[in-house]
């Protein structure tokens, strides 16, 4: 059995659990007036504009102007439309996840130089709980002026185009770094309640890191409040407002996420899984897992084998 490395940084833990794989990256260009509609396909997708301008509208929301140097991440890609600054007739792309031609996609006028170029792509997760990333982030992440993100996406496009031995491993590592950089670049203080917002709070963050560092510990709200340097009531209110869940509910959700990963990997007896996520017996763990997940751990493990 191959065990996960021990990580105590919450963002590293989550990306380590998700384990990106099957990365696709391609060049996309456009000239003249054009408009492309993409169907909902649920996978995480990304792009970086390397030249020119275009407009992105996600799931019917108002269009976002994109320009050179902009980066976009859609954690669970819904339907969206990509157009030139002045849109042309709308055309629907039938299969956005199909492997592209080696020279990428060209929208609008097919001859002459491109007025807009970008590198875009998508990837899958090995994780038994791929909704982790979507739950952590807003529907659309638009980051402007972070050169490291554009550089990473360029590297992914180059690696995909070269298609040399070892490309799959390189692309997976680049996606992992890309996700960390995107999470770092988000203005977490103004984000919706969630882990990122909690990590941006100087009082809540120490409690989150302590909880993630040892999920098996017999945590209480008082112990977490002490890690935060707050009274129990002040910590509880602050944690709920920043993270969006009471501390013990967040702890339960994180323990169940870890348990899903251990069960999916296999190789551990049920009482060992229980001990690693803070339960004193297989029976108490099975009851909690069944309530939270909707099926007993044994059935879950068989379903993901």
> 2 pLDDT band (50/70/90 cuts)?
very low
State what percent of residues in the chain have pLDDT above 70: 92
Domain holding 253, by residue range, is 195-304
* CA gap 140, 46 in Å, rounded: 10
CA dihedral 93, 96, 99, 104 (to 10 degrees): 60
Task: Assign residue 219 the CATH number of its domain.
Answer: 1.10.10.60
Please indicate, yes or no, if residue 1 is contained in any of the structural domains: no
Flag whether pLDDT at 117 surpasses 80: yes
31 and 129 part of one domain: yes
51-55, 60-64, 224-228: least confident range: 60-64
142 and 220 part of one domain: no
23 and 169 part of one domain: yes
199 and 170 part of one domain: no
48 and 150 part of one domain: yes
Closest of 137, 118, 34 to residue 77, by C-alpha: 137
pLDDT at res. 95? 65
pLDDT at res. 8? 58
11-15, 172-176, 281-285, 296-300: least confident range: 11-15
Residue found by looking up tokens 């996978």 in the block: 43
What pTM did the predictor assign? 0.79
Which tokens belong to 71? 């980066």
158 and 47 part of one domain: yes
Comparing 4 with 245, the larger pLDDT belongs to 245
pLDDT at res. 13? 85
Flag whether pLDDT at 193 surpasses 60: yes
For range 172-177, the mean pLDDT: 92
28 and 125 part of one domain: yes
pLDDT at res. 143? 93
């Amino acid at each position: 059995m191959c065990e996960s490395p021990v990580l105590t940084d919450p963002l590293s833990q989550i990306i380590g659990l998700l384990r990106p794989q099957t990365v696709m990256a391609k060049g996309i260009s456009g000239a003249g007036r054009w408009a492309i509609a993409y169907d909902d396909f649920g996978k995480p997708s990304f792009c970086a504009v390397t030249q020119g301008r275009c407009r992105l509208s996600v799931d019917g929301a108002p269009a976002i102007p994109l320009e050179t140097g902009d980066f976009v991440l859609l954690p669970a890609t819904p339907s969206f439309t990509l157009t030139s600054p002045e849109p042309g007739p709308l055309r629907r792309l039938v299969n956005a996840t199909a492997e592209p031609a080696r020279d990428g996609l060209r929208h609008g006028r097919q001859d002459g130089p491109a007025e807009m170029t970008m590198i875009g792509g998508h990837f899958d997760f090995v994780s038994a709980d791929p909704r982790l990333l979507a739950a952590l982030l807003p529907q659309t992440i638009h980051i402007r002026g972070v050169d490291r993100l554009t550089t990473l996406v360029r590297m992914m496009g180059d690696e995909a185009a070269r298609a040399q031995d070892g490309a799959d491993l390189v692309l997976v590592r680049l996606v992992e770094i890309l996700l960390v950089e995107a999470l770092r670049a988000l203005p977490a203080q103004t984000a919706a309640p969630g882990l990122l917002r909690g990590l941006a709070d100087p009082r809540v963050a120490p409690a989150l890191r302590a909880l993630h560092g040892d999920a098996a510990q017999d945590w209480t709200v008082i112990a977490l409040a002490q890690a935060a340097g707050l009274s129990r009531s002040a910590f509880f209110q602050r944690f709920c407002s920043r993270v969006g869940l009471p501390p013990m509910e967040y702890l339960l959700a994180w323990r169940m996420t870890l348990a899903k990963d251990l069960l999916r990997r296999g190789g551990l007896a049920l009482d060992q899984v229980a001990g690693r996520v803070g339960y004193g017996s297989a029976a108490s763990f099975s009851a909690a897992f069944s309530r939270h997940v909707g099926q007993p751990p044994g059935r879950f493990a068989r379903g993901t084998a």
